[in-house]
Structure 1
Amino acid sequence: MKASDLFIKALENEGVTFVFGIPGEENLDFLDSLSRSNIKLILTRHEQAAGFMAATYGRLTGKAGVCLSTLGPGATNLVTAAAYAQLGGMPMMMITGQKPVKRSKQGQFQIVDIVAMMEPLTKYTRQLVSGSNIPSRVREAFRLAQEEKPGAVHLEFPEDIAEEETKEPVIEASLVRRPIAESKSILAAVDRLQKAKHPLLIVGGGANRKLTCNMLRNFVDKFGIPFVTTQMGKGVVDERGPLFLGNAALSGGDFVHRAIDAADLIVNIGHDVVEKPPFFMRPGGVEVIHMNFSTASVDPVYFPQVEVVGDIANSVWQISELLEKQDSWDFSRFMEVRKHGELQLAEGADDDRFPIYPQRLVADVRKAVEDEGIIALDNGVYKIWFARNYKAHSPNSVMLDNALASMGAGLPSAMAAKLVHPQRSVTAVCGDGGFMMNSQELETAVRLNMHIVVVILRDNAYGMIKWKQANMGLRDFGLDYGNPDFVKYAQSYGAEGHRVNSAAELLPLLQKCHAEHAVHVIEVPVDYSENDQILNHDIKHRSAAI
């Protein structure tokens, strides 16, 4: 068979269902082979969006999402998505084309060393130099992409290799089980938990895996230990429960930090150094148990006393089997902090001011989204509002990026979520800046007949940076821009366009859009001038007073 046919068979062997991307002339054999496969090509309008979609597919399924580009400029457009997947722990494979490697037809035209470019951004990057290498290279790439910590991999497929003839068979995935934690580390963790007076769980992005979520829920229910989440740990345990103390959305000074300060033992589950630390360690201070698939990366503010290294779900189960609930545990301080935090979060949820008040925006989106519904956030200051105020009911139902924190991912991520979970409601929440970075994908969503809701928060500026500029006492300069009429812009792509003119209009409009199958775009004017009061002075002053 042709090498390109073998490549597609290798992808089918890995369970690939979608390939996201934009082919070029160097991919034409691959594209022809793909046309005879059950794998569906999702043709996008920009390679970066294809990468964001593939990464999100990987995040939601645990299986590497696949994206495709041509050589040169197509491949360089995947760089941001590669970093997005790599830092965020999302399994993704990038396939890029290349000119013939055995002979030159066009000199150095469009030639960039893509393999070298991808080296610092991926777990694995190789050029395919023979059709017979395809099965082993594909299998190794998928193995590494999906192995903890998941991330990005890359294969370059030159056009003369794609047209080679080969007789190689595909390689089946081996049966593999993740290593489990050694018993002495489990016993050390149990001993410290039983001796602690105020233990606290912090749940990070590494715990956002299906089996881990189930075990953690059981653990929290059995022992009643309160927990805090990082932004990428949202939803691992249902945040409506009475033991959820809040999300570490702010760097410091929020209510959750008062709870962390009151702990004498922190069990840090799935901690990843790419996220801002929810607490800082000091010599002689709080003890920390590090529980993760890999050992702790020690730095001046993180040096745990106990490391439980192995499959997290198994570690939680082992501890659960040996631990006994202690009468000496005292969570009263945590509950006091939770009470005040909940009161603060509720304030403003029905505020009628317009442009819309942050708490009102989040509350109305939460009311409109079903329990299992998914929201995908782009990057901006509103991400902090949603991390703090939006209660996640299930794992990976709040798709936000607190690793690379790239703008432009909100809409593509929402689209990928809808492909993975077509029966669940999906909402993208984007600032006007981030939305316009990949707004062309509205056409893709309309072409695919998707039912998604896109909320665009319009302030006609790079609002988060403008807010920080003002906080630093600097001149208001260089961050304002104009915007299209988003209603007409949506309609020009064949989507439904809506504009909110008062706070009272938002919730019924969201409910209407979730009920009617279409790509809905809702323009919502926002005013970031309240950020300083909401996110700085008010919260830090009141939380410090507890």
Structure 2
Amino acid sequence: MKASDLFVRALEAEGVEYIFGIPGEENLDLLNALKDSSIRLILTRHEQAAGFMAATYGRLTGRTGVCLATLGPGATNLVTAAAYAQLGAMPMLMITGQKPIKASKQGEFQIVDVVDMMQPLTKYTRQLSSAHYIPARVREAFRRAEDERPGAVHLELPEDIAREQTEASVIRRSRFENPRASETSISQASDMIQSARRPLLLLGAGANRRHTCQALRAFIDKTGIPFFTTQMGKGVIDERHPQYLGAAALSGEDFLHRAIEAADLIINVGHDVVEKPPFIMNGEADTDPAEDNPDIAGAGRAGSARVIHVNYVTAAVDAVYHPHQGVIGDIADSIERLTATIEVSPGWDFGRFLEVKRHLDAHLQEGADDARFPVYPQRLVAEVRRAMPDNGIVALDNGIYKIWFARNYPACLPNTVLLDNALASMGAGLPSAMAAKLVHPERRVLAVCGDGGFMMNSQELETAVRLGLDLVVLVLRDDAYGMIKWKQTDMGFEDFGLDYGNPSFVDYARCYGAHGHRVEAADQLAPLLERCLASPGVHLIEAAVDYSDNDRLLNRTIPDRSRAI
């Protein structure tokens, strides 16, 4: 059998449905093998977008997403996507080509040491030096990609190796289960929770798995312990739940941080320091944070709580995070065992948490019906929430609007708000939405992109149209890098260096064969969203957005009001 055919059979044995990417001449044997395969090639317009799509496929399915590029510039274009998957714990395999390694007549033309380049960005990277190694290398790459903590892996298939003949056979997937946490750690964690006065539950990205969500819902329903999420943990539990205290969208001084300060124990489920920390551990918690003033329950002493780390892997000790107790093993199993062990304690006091929640819930209603135009961010988020069903998927690019969606958009189901708060790369919103639509063709999918992030991979509109996707892209126009402008203002610098021009996004969309629309008044947004989401084809909605209040609200008003609770 030809090695390229064996490679494709190995991918089929892993259950691969799609390969996203751009082949080059060094991939032509592999491309020809794909021609008669069950695997569908999704030809993109840039390798970075292919990587974002593969990573998002991995995020949504738990199975390894696969992307393809040629050598040199094709491979280097995957670097950002590799970091996106690795930091975001999304299983993804990158396949790159290479010149013949046994004899080449092209010298060093286009040669980059891709395996070495991928080393710090992946869990596993190998060059295939013989067809004989293909089955084992492919199986190991998929095992590493999906093993906890998931991430990026890479295989390089040189041109001459792809053409070799081999008698090697595919290695089939084996069954395995994640290790279970020890009985001692479960018992110690249970005792800590039982004896705490104000335990608080944190849900991070690692909890965003189907079985874990079910286990956590049973834990919360039994104990009544309030919970909050990181940005990438949104939707783990329906955020309309009465014990939900909000998402950690801001680094500090939000309403939620008043609850974090009040906790004497934080049960951290599925969060690690790769995602931006929602709190800083700056104390040893030797004393009760409410001893000096039980009425304020430790306000102003963030990080004084004891912390239980519930995760698949041990915590990487960091200056901002050094937990007191680890429960290491399958998260769903750990939570189920804690649920069975713990009884509701008469000593628990959630009064401060629920007081914070009342103030936060009232605050989140402000601005939802603001009539100003350009559209006010809070109004924008409210209209999107009204337009999307519970299982609708919102894929966010990276920008200041991400903070407003994290704070103000209640997610009802896991992985229905796709945002990246690990690498926090611009340009991922549209490709992520496209992958989400391929995985869930029956759902409404909306990409929300700033004009800056959208233009980084806007060429993929052609791909979406060519694939016949039913997709809506909401482009928020402020003609500037708005997130950096917000920081620039907060740091007291003059407005400089962050403004740019834009095309007419309506005309731009139509050039690709998509439908282009423009919002001219705030009250037009809701009906236009509804109409586009209900219509076939790719729809782009251009909406000017008003960020003029960001500095006042996020840097002064919210901190001042939260401190007054």
Q: TM-score by structure 1 length?
A: 0.99
**Do the aligned partners of 1:259 and 1:337 also contact (CA within 8 Å) in 2?**
yes
Whether 1:370 aligns to 2:371 is no
The match for 1:108 is: 108
Letter in 1 for 2:439: V
CA distance in 2, matches of 1:328, 1:395: 32
Aligned match for 1:505, one of 515, 519, 524 = 524
The match for 1:472 is: 491
The match for 1:496 is: 515
The match for 1:283 is: 284
Q: CA deviation at 1:275?
A: 1.5
The match for 1:455 is: 474
Residues 317-364 of structure 1: CA deviation (Å, up to 9, x unaligned)? 111111111122111111110010011110010000111111100000
**Do the aligned partners of 2:490 and 2:555 also contact (CA within 8 Å) in 1?**
no
Residues 199-243 of structure 1: CA deviation (Å, up to 9, x unaligned)? 100001111111111111111111111000000100001101101
Whether 1:272 aligns to 2:272 is yes
The match for 1:151 is: 151
The match for 2:137 is: 137
Residues 122-170 of structure 1: CA deviation (Å, up to 9, x unaligned)? 0000000111100000000000000010000000001111111111110
Aligned match for 1:529, one of 539, 545, 548 = 548
**Do the aligned partners of 2:448 and 2:476 also contact (CA within 8 Å) in 1?**
yes
| Structure 1: runs of 5 or more not aligned | none
CA distance in 2, matches of 1:470, 1:262: 31
CA distance in 1, matches of 2:489, 2:340: 53
**Do the aligned partners of 2:60 and 2:436 also contact (CA within 8 Å) in 1?**
yes
The match for 2:17 is: 17
Residues 166-193 of structure 1: CA deviation (Å, up to 9, x unaligned)? 1111001111111010001100111111
Aligned match for 1:338, one of 357, 368, 390 = 357
Letter in 2 for 1:175: R
Give runs of aligned pairs for residues 381-530 of structure 1, distance below 5 A.
381-530=400-549
Letter in 2 for 1:55: A
The match for 1:58 is: 58
Q: CA deviation at 1:300?
A: 2.3
Which region of structure 1 is more displaced relative to structure 2, 530-539 or 330-339? 530-539
**Do the aligned partners of 1:467 and 1:529 also contact (CA within 8 Å) in 2?**
no
Q: CA deviation at 1:476?
A: 1.7
CA distance in 1, matches of 2:181, 2:141: 26
**Do the aligned partners of 2:434 and 2:464 also contact (CA within 8 Å) in 1?**
yes
SS at match of 2:548: helix
CA distance in 1, matches of 2:69, 2:380: 38
Which region of structure 1 is more displaced relative to structure 2, 477-486 or 432-441? 477-486
SS at match of 1:491: helix
CA distance in 1, matches of 2:166, 2:172: 18
CA distance in 2, matches of 1:146, 1:301: 27
CA distance in 2, matches of 1:59, 1:276: 18
The match for 1:303 is: 322
SS at match of 1:236: coil
Identity, % of aligned pairs?
Answer: 68
**Do the aligned partners of 2:273 and 2:321 also contact (CA within 8 Å) in 1?**
no
Q: CA deviation at 1:448?
A: 0.5
**Do the aligned partners of 1:267 and 1:291 also contact (CA within 8 Å) in 2?**
yes
**Runs of at least 4 residues of structure 1 off by over 2 A?**
none
The match for 1:318 is: 337
SS at match of 2:280: coil
SS at match of 1:498: strand
CA distance in 2, matches of 1:309, 1:10: 32
Q: CA deviation at 1:534?
A: 2.2
**Do the aligned partners of 1:231 and 1:400 also contact (CA within 8 Å) in 2?**
yes
Letter in 2 for 1:277: P
Letter in 1 for 2:62: G
CA distance in 2, matches of 1:342, 1:333: 14
The match for 1:125 is: 125
Q: TM-score by structure 2 length?
A: 0.96
The match for 2:46 is: 46
**Do the aligned partners of 2:253 and 2:562 also contact (CA within 8 Å) in 1?**
yes
